[in-house]
Amino acid sequence: MFCFQCQEAANNRGCTIKGVCGKSEELCKEMDLLKHHLKQLAVLNNDEIALFVTNSLFKLITNANFNLDDLKNTNEEALNIAKKYNLQLDNNIIINDNLTIKGLKEMIMTGLMGMAAYHYHAIQLNYQDSDIHEFMLHVLSKLDTINDIDKLLKIIDVVGEYGFKVMALLDEANTSTYGNPEISEVNIGVSNRPGILVSGHDLHDLKLLLEQSKDSGIDIYTHCEMLPAHYYPELKKYPHLRGNYGNAWYAQTKEFESFNGPILFTTNCIVPPLANANYKDHLFSTGNANATGFTYIPEINKQKDFSQIIELAKTCLPPKPLEEGKIIGGFAHHQVLALAEKIIENIKNGSIKKFVVMAGCDGRQANREYYTDFASKLANDTIILTAGCAKYRYNKLNLGSINGIPRVLDAGQCNDSYSLVKIALALKDAFELDDVNDLPIAYNIAWYEQKAVIVLLTLLHLGIKNIKLGPTLPAFCDENIVKVLQDKYQITTINKVNEDLEILG
CA angle 452, 144, 55 (to 5 degrees): 45
Q: Which stretch binds ligand SF4 (CB under 6 A): 12-20, 44-52, 74-82, 482-490?
A: 12-20
Rounded to whole angstroms, how far apart are CA atoms 270 and 273? Answer: 9
- Tell whether residue 19 is a contact of ligand SF4 (CB under 6 A): yes
- Tell whether residue 256 is a contact of ligand SF4 (CB under 6 A): no
User: Which secondary-structure segment (H or E) carries 439?
Assistant: none
Q: Which stretch binds ligand SF4 (CB under 6 A): 123-131, 168-176, 277-285, 444-452?
A: 444-452
Between 202 and 449, whose beta carbon lies closer to ligand SF4?
Answer: 449
Q: Tell which positions 168-227 bind ligand SF4, by CB under 6 A.
A: 224-225
Out of 44, 452, 453, 456, the only residue in the binding site for ligand SF4 (CB under 6 A) is 452
Rounded to whole angstroms, how far apart are CA atoms 42 and 497? Answer: 45
Rounded to whole angstroms, how far apart are CA atoms 299 and 76? Answer: 19
- Tell whether residue 36 is a contact of ligand SF4 (CB under 6 A): no
Neighbours of 402 (CB within 10 A): 17
Give the distance from CA 255 to its chain's centroid.
20
- Tell whether residue 99 is a contact of ligand SF4 (CB under 6 A): no
- Tell whether residue 443 is a contact of ligand SF4 (CB under 6 A): no
Between 181 and 194, whose beta carbon lies closer to ligand SF4?
Answer: 181
Peptide bond into 269 cis (omega under 30): yes
Q: Tell which positions 258-297 bind ligand SF4, by CB under 6 A.
A: 268-269
Rounded to whole angstroms, how far apart are CA atoms 388 and 377? Answer: 21
Length of the chain: 505
Rounded to whole angstroms, how far apart are CA atoms 268 and 260? Answer: 21
Please count the residues of this chain forming the interface with ligand SF4, following the rule CB under 6 A: 26
The least distance separating ligand SF4 from the CB of residue 216, rounded to whole angstroms, comes to: 27
Q: Which stretch binds ligand SF4 (CB under 6 A): 1-9, 69-77, 372-380, 478-486?
A: 1-9
Q: Which stretch binds ligand SF4 (CB under 6 A): 19-27, 95-103, 283-291, 493-501?
A: 19-27
User: Which secondary-structure segment (H or E) carries 234?
Assistant: helix 233-236
Q: Which stretch binds ligand SF4 (CB under 6 A): 7-15, 50-58, 85-93, 139-147?
A: 7-15
In DSSP terms, which residues pair with 357 in a beta bridge? 385, 443
Quick one: which of 110, 90, 82 has its CA closest to 5?
110
Between 107 and 427, whose beta carbon lies closer to ligand SF4?
Answer: 107
Q: Is 378 left (phi over 0), alpha (psi -120 to 50) or beta?
A: beta
Residues that bind ligand SF4 (CB under 6 A): 3-6, 8-9, 15, 19-21, 23, 62, 224-225, 249, 268-269, 361-362, 388-389, 414, 448-449, 451-452
